[in-house]
């Protein structure tokens, strides 16, 4: 595959995150635009804090990967452990890491037991300084840690629009944080999906139900491995 083709695919991938708007929605819209199901009192609650990928733009809520992950947890793991899982979809299209910082305390009111942090792509699309993006992600992860909430960090890749140095520095944010904080990492959330027309909507930008299925399988695999180390979750 040529460098041109790779760059083109990465460009399609990153547009997913910001194509519907360049700014975060105001916090006043969170209540009406964020899907938070009403969990059972004893449910193990998993918050996925993300952007349009997590929100599930262009597909039904039941087809978006957060719902697919919840379904697999309850179908495959719950019968063995008698633990009910509730996945809170904390995705908002256009959200950046700074938006995540402003939203994390709101979501903590739901008292999640686990956090999957899936932000950063929109920062790269806008050329936000790597240091700022990294600090925002660190703030979110430290906030979760201060509340005793285990986490998984998901990585993202961007096209070299801002030059190879920025591209490389951006990509290194995620493994660097995961290593320093000793938390699990999903290296690339869109692995096998980004840029593949068979796995995206007709606009060839947003994942279709088949694309979300692959993302859901990837997240489920990493999540189920992480949950093993949490006695109350399995």
Give the whole-angstrom CA distance, residue 20 versus residue 205.
11
The predicted pLDDT at position 228 comes to: 87
Q: What's 28's domain CATH number?
A: 3.40.50.1110
Q: Between 21 and 53, where is the model more confident? A: 53
For the chain, what is the mean pLDDT?
Answer: 86
Model confidence, pTM: 0.85
Residue 203 is a catalytic residue: yes
pLDDT at 92 over 50: yes
Q: How many domains does the chain have?
A: 1
Catalytic pick among 52, 95, 98, 233: 52
Average pLDDT over residues 129-153: 98
What is the band of 234 on the pLDDT scale with cuts at 50, 70, 90?
Answer: low
Residues 68-95, buried b or exposed e (16+ Cβ, 10 A)? bbbebbbeebeeeeebbbbbbbbbbbbb
- Containing structural domain, residue 113: 3-233
Minimum mean pLDDT among 108-112, 178-182, 230-234: which range?
230-234
Catalytic pick among 95, 206, 212, 233: 206
């Amino acid at each position: 595959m040529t460098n041109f083709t790779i760059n083109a695919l990465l460009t399609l991938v990153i547009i997913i995150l910001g194509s519907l708007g360049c700014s975060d929605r105001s916090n006043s819209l969170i209540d009406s635009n964020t899907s938070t199901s009403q969990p059972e009192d004893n449910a193990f609650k998993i918050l996925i804090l993300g952007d349009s990928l997590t929100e599930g733009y262009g597909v039904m809520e039941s087809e978006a990967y957060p719902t697919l992950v919840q379904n697999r947890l309850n179908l495959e793991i719950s019968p063995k452990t008698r633990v009910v899982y509730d996945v809170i979809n904390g995705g908002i299209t256009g959200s950046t890491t700074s938006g995540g910082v402003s939203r994390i305390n709101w979501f903590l009111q739901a008292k999640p037991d686990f956090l999957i942090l899936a932000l950063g792509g929109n920062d790269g699309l806008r050329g936000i300084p790597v240091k700022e993006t990294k600090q925002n992600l660190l703030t979110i992860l430290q906030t979760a840690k201060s509340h005793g909430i285990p986490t998984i960090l998901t990585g993202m890749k961007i096209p070299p629009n801002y030059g190879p140095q920025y591209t490389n520095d951006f990509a290194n944010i995620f493994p660097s944080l995961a290593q320093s904080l000793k938390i699990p990492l999903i290296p690339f959330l869109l692995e096998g999906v980004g840029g593949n027309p068979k796995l995206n909507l007709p606009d060839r930008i947003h994942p279709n139900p088949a694309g979300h299925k692959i993302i859901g399988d990837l997240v489920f695999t990493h999540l189920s491995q992480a949950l093993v180390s949490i006695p109350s979750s399995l």
